[in-house]
Every structure is written in structure tokens, then in C-alpha cells.
Amino acid sequence: MEKATEEKRLNQYLAHAGVASRRHCENLILRGRVTVDGEVVRELGTRVHTGQTVAVDGQELQGEILVYWILNKPQGYLCTNHDPSQRPLAGDFMTHVKERLFLVGRLDEDSEGLLLFTNDGSLAQKITHPRFGVEKVYHCQVAGFLKREEMAKLEKGVWSSEGRMQAKRVRPMKRQGESLWLEITLCEGKNREIRRMLAALGHKVLKLKRVSIGPIRMDRLPKGKSRRLKPNEVAQLQRVFSKPKAPGH
């Protein structure tokens, strides 16, 4: 793993290094207990970057180690940090990870499949930004049978009150009773996009599962289980962002 290279606010840097909560870290700064490159810093807006030496009470910090985890989210879990109704959260499966994590690639409560967790904020933003066109692949069970022209319409684009929604690719997989399994590839992933596109064509989604984000595949990871990405998987993910793509490509 490599150390973070992006610039951070000092209180954020301290919190991510495991010193304390951001609020408590602010108190440490105001009390003059934090130094940057040997100088006491009391300004809360101070920003630090890789290469600078940060210390608390004279003890040098090692900075933040970037970590990357994937989770196979089961149905019935929310992708949020807090729910007033105290429903189960996807993050409940990640309490064994000591680093503070960003959730990348949200799934609605009724969907399941691949989620990515990381403290690499730069990478998290790139994965979700349309400019990079990162492909997300879903397996979707649909009530009834879609005609070829309906699949073509999903690729061409479907309009709703919230704008145009479009799949990059739609491929039939297999029939199951009175339903059809589709493989659907998206490059943006608006809120409940697949469900809303198919509803616009008169089809109900029975089951929806994300199986990959860019080069990262869930494969046989059991539901509710997580694993750390291997170094070669992280390298593959980083390469996706070496050549930004235009939206729609």
C-alpha cells in the first residue's frame, strides 16, 4: 500500500492517522499540541500534504495508509452512515477495519452485490465521476420477457422526469420461469436507474445484483463477507483513471 498523496486539512489528517475524532483533533490544534515540520500550528484551516512531518506532543505520526476493501452487500441493508429508523447498514459489515472508509458505489436497500470501501478519497471521486466512464455491471431478473427493441431502447436512452437514463450494454442471460435475467452495464449509475428505466418500459425488477466495478469483480465472495483488494487489483483500478473518457463512451 502507498501513503496518501492528496492535500488534507490538518484535523482530517490527524483523525485519519488514528489520533482522535476530528472535533478532539481541533482542540489539540488550538491548544498548540500539534506541529507541522517542527512549527506549532494553531490555525484550524491549515492543510498538510505528503512529505510534511506532523507530530502531536512531539510524537511523529506515520500518516494514513490507503486501504481498499470490497463487500458483497445482502439485500435489506442501507448504504448510508446513519439511519434514524435504525435499519441495518452496509457499513455494519466493515467494523473490523480500523481505518475510516468512504463507501463507493451505493446500492439501494433492495439491491445486493459489490460495494467498494476505501479511504482513498481521490480514487473514490474518480470512480463515481462520469468523466472517467467506469463501467458497473449488474445482473438483473426482470418480470416478463423483454423484446430486442426494448433492450435497444435501454441502450439508446430512456427519459423520465429526472432526465435521460441510458445503459451502455444490455445482454440477455437466461430465462427463469416467467422472468428473464439480463446483464446490464452502466457508466454513471443514477439513483435506482435500472429499476426506473425498466419501469418506464413496463417491466418490474425482481432481483438486482452488482457483480463488478471497473476491473474489480465480486466473483464468489459470499453475501455479507468482505475482503481486502489484492495489490494487482488496486493497480488495475488505478489504470482505469490514466485515460479519462468522455461521457457516453
Per-chain mean pLDDT for the chain: 88
More confident residue, 149 or 64: 149
Annotated catalytic residue within 57, 83, 108, 120: 108
Query: Domain 135-213 maps to which CATH number in 3.90.550.10, 3.30.70.20, 3.40.1480.10, 3.30.2350.10?
Result: 3.30.2350.10
Residues 6+ apart with CB under 8 A from 155: 166, 167, 168, 169, 170
CA distance 238 to 249: 19
pLDDT per residue as tens digits for the range 80-98: 988 899 999 999 999 999 8
Give me the pLDDT at residue 1, please: 33
Q: Is the pLDDT of residue 33 over 50?
A: yes
Give me the pLDDT at residue 61, please: 83
CA dihedral 180→184→190→195, nearest 10 degrees, is: 0
Q: Where in the chain is the domain with CATH 3.30.70.580?
A: 68-130+216-242
CATH code for the part of the protein at 68-130+216-242: 3.30.70.580
Name the CATH topology of 8-60.
Answer: 3.10.290
- Residue 108 appears among annotated catalytic residues: yes
Give me the pLDDT at residue 71, please: 98
At residue 4 the predicted structure's pLDDT band, cuts being 50, 70 and 90, is: very low
Q: Where in the chain is the domain with CATH 3.30.2350.10?
A: 135-213
At residue 178 the predicted structure's pLDDT band, cuts being 50, 70 and 90, is: very high
Q: Where in the chain is the domain with CATH 3.10.290.10?
A: 8-60
CA distance 76 to 68: 23
Q: Is the pLDDT of residue 42 over 60?
A: yes
CA distances from 149 to 4, 170, 246 (A): 47, 11, 26
